[in-house]
Structure 1
């Protein structure tokens, strides 16, 4: 048989999704769109949403028994992989004594000490139940502390689904935002200013217009909810300087980057001190938890010692605290991040080299243990507007081929991927081969 025919890559047959389809049909009678978070509906990719039955290490299995190497990692928090034995054993140990009390426990102190003793940027923190709640509370704290109302955010950064931040840019360099969801009153958008990322002039113009009105500037220092829009350190430092000059608090939303690119997250990586930091489920082993922290002076504006109210029955719940203690203790072991980042860099470099040699229009951006496939020839993408929506069709095709080859990425080309300590060399070699085959099909499709 001629090599040209023998060697030609062929699409893999679609995996069985029969049981997932049955579950999805039933779910649509219970939940809007059949899911409890929109991206899970697989609207941006091919096929029925996969209903996951179990996870262990670097793998997940769906309801039909299909096995996948998982690069979603519950959208990042599972930095040790699924069902890590130390996390699981700690959770089981604590659950035997009760799962929720609505009262303080020693576990809260233990997890707080792990974070605060190894983070130079915050002195006190408050546990909450999600990243959205952490950001919402940080915004309220900034407004209460500064006695100002306006918030400045950046186009392309996502900060959860609180009303103040479900705002997109209007027209013009510096604008009041427009609500990006029905049900968000225009009055909320009127207090939110939206500017482009990596644009110091736009930032300065915003402060010239609203000088003494801006309570806080909030940014993902590593924007990773709309592609991986890596910012320059110079831009982040300019942001720090402008906030300081204007008495405005700088909030780093590190729900994704926190503990992913180092124990001190992006703040430690860039060596820039924000006024308030927010973290998400990674501090609780992937369980529902988050926190926000700042200097003692700022944090003491929170109730019961201050006038900024924030509360929660499940804040600091013992199960999440236990998982967090086990997970963060592992992250502090010698060489953990060096090994994780090294294998991520090698994984990304090999894929990039493969694509470059074949003149495929693909860039794989990375930082820490986070990566993103961008179907572009641009050397850098720092703004949401630089992403070509048409490129998502290529991701859609690649995602289908990867699913059929046992590789699971989040079901959106705008979402990033993650590598965990559970991913073995064999896992990564298997994934690379599947990615090579999928790219060949995507770029050589007739």
Structure 2
């Protein structure tokens, strides 16, 4: 039988670090990665056929759980008609129409292949539309690995403790200004210091790449006002929150409209897809209508479009799905709170809708600097203990837990039992650390 350990040894000989995305290496939790063979519902299975309750959910898009039958049928049908044409297909029109109907303020959509590509294209569009060069982002928010976004980023960059990336030209990084999440005065100061130079502000409306950090009351609305006052665009990176917080994403959830919105694999049912969208007057700056160039052979790929359209149709026709996943996350979150209090473990729990994060910190976590105060050694010990009990969490303190419709209350009970045992087992170890 194959083992994850054997596959990892082989992978390290032919793949940099043995993985194709850094956080998968499990270095942040002092372990070696699992190689997954299959998934169904709320469960994933490694190559040794061990079963785990999955709270990673392919980093968010599996709102309906793994291997949803309706989505698989649509994908199978599309596959039989061909895998790629490099030409328009009906499904891309249908999915764009659905996004326009579901998401506030969106009048036009452009399909791409990933969240990184969506953000890269949205930033270029904002610069082309405003005829300005500078972008404001927030410390700890991760917007993919395009050059101008790898400045004080979150997700795997934060996990590895790398504030920037080698290979990013200084002049590009110089046009990316960083503000403090949930601190509107830091944004105002940047606008004052860079008058008429800022093309856009980009933000994860819920910061979900440095754990889960909700926006404070009024923060997003104030951000929108500042952008309007300075004729700059507001970009919501909804690669994680889009169609997860609600059918209309974070814009609907918080009652704040952005000028451009980016999406990722969540609109592909987990398949490689992305999109950026916004008002017609902005989107028509994109080629072939306008002078902002972006292209891709696989953009609007028929198989990915079939998967995404199937998922969005289910979400759009079943509003009770959001009540379901939010309620399950609430039950999980309240259970975690009780266990943490019982064992007097220094943990702060943040939750927004069906997104959760346990920060191993006794203080509130509202921004990047506070997130970095978390004890990652505590988290690593907890992670390994949970994994041994069949619970698959993100292999990093600075990622979210995701709840899907496929998770059952029995799954949640089993998870809470594992948390109780893991914390009890690790209290002495945590005190030593």
Normalised-by-shorter TM-score class:
over 0.9
Q: Are the aligned partners of 1:179 and 1:189 in contact in 2 as well (CA < 8 Å)?
A: no
The equivalent residue for 2:157 is: none
Equivalence map 1:305-316=2 (5 Å): 305-316=289-300
Is the deviation greater in 355-364 or in 396-405?
A: 355-364
Which deviations, in whole Å up to 9, do the C-alpha atoms of 1:33-52 show, x marking residues without a partner?
A: 01100111110113321000
Match of 1:29, SS state, is helix
Instruction: Kindly name which structure, 1 or 2, has the bigger radius of gyration based on alpha carbons.
Output: 1
The equivalent residue for 1:399 is: 383
1:364 maps onto 2:349 in alignment: yes
Runs of 4+ in 1 over 4 A off after TM superposition: none
- Aligned counterpart for 2:19 among listed residues 15, 20, 35: 35
Q: Are the aligned partners of 1:111 and 1:324 in contact in 2 as well (CA < 8 Å)?
A: yes
- Aligned counterpart for 2:96 among listed residues 112, 117, 120: 112
Over the aligned positions, Cα root-mean-square deviation in angstroms equals 1.5
Is the deviation greater in 108-117 or in 94-103?
A: 108-117
Aligned-pair distance for 1:18?
7.0
1:422 maps onto 2:413 in alignment: no
Which deviations, in whole Å up to 9, do the C-alpha atoms of 1:278-315 show, x marking residues without a partner?
A: 01101000000010000011101110011111110000
The equivalent residue for 1:326 is: 310
Match of 2:258, SS state, is coil
Aligned-pair distance for 1:410?
1.2
Match of 1:427, SS state, is helix
1:436 maps onto 2:395 in alignment: no
Distance 1:179 1:62, change over 3 A: closer
The equivalent residue for 2:146 is: 162
Distance 1:315 1:76, change over 3 A: same
1:147 maps onto 2:131 in alignment: yes
Equivalence map 1:345-364=2 (5 Å): 345-364=330-349
Q: Output the TM-score relative to the length of structure 2.
A: 0.95
Q: Output the TM-score relative to the length of structure 1.
A: 0.92
Distance 1:420 1:65, change over 3 A: same
Alpha-carbon distance in 2 for matches of 1:94, 1:190: 45
Which deviations, in whole Å up to 9, do the C-alpha atoms of 1:1-23 show, x marking residues without a partner?
A: xxxxxxxxxxxxxxxx9711110
Alpha-carbon distance in 1 for matches of 2:182, 2:332: 28
Equivalence map 1:200-211=2 (5 Å): 200-211=184-195
Q: Are the aligned partners of 2:135 and 2:199 in contact in 1 as well (CA < 8 Å)?
A: yes
The equivalent residue for 2:176 is: 192
Equivalence map 1:258-337=2 (5 Å): 258-332=242-316, 333-337=318-322
Aligned-pair distance for 1:65?
1.5
Match of 2:29, SS state, is coil
Which deviations, in whole Å up to 9, do the C-alpha atoms of 1:218-245 show, x marking residues without a partner?
A: 0111010011121113111111111000
Which deviations, in whole Å up to 9, do the C-alpha atoms of 1:87-114 show, x marking residues without a partner?
A: 1111001111111100000001111122
Aligned-pair distance for 1:375?
1.3
Which deviations, in whole Å up to 9, do the C-alpha atoms of 1:101-145 show, x marking residues without a partner?
A: 000000011111221112222110100000000000000000000
Aligned-pair distance for 1:356?
1.6
Which deviations, in whole Å up to 9, do the C-alpha atoms of 1:154-178 show, x marking residues without a partner?
A: 1110100000111129xxxxxxxx9
Alpha-carbon distance in 1 for matches of 2:393, 2:305: 28
Q: Are the aligned partners of 2:348 and 2:365 in contact in 1 as well (CA < 8 Å)?
A: no
The equivalent residue for 1:218 is: 202
Q: Structure 2: give runs of 5+ residues left out of the alignment.
A: 154-161
Higher helix share: 2
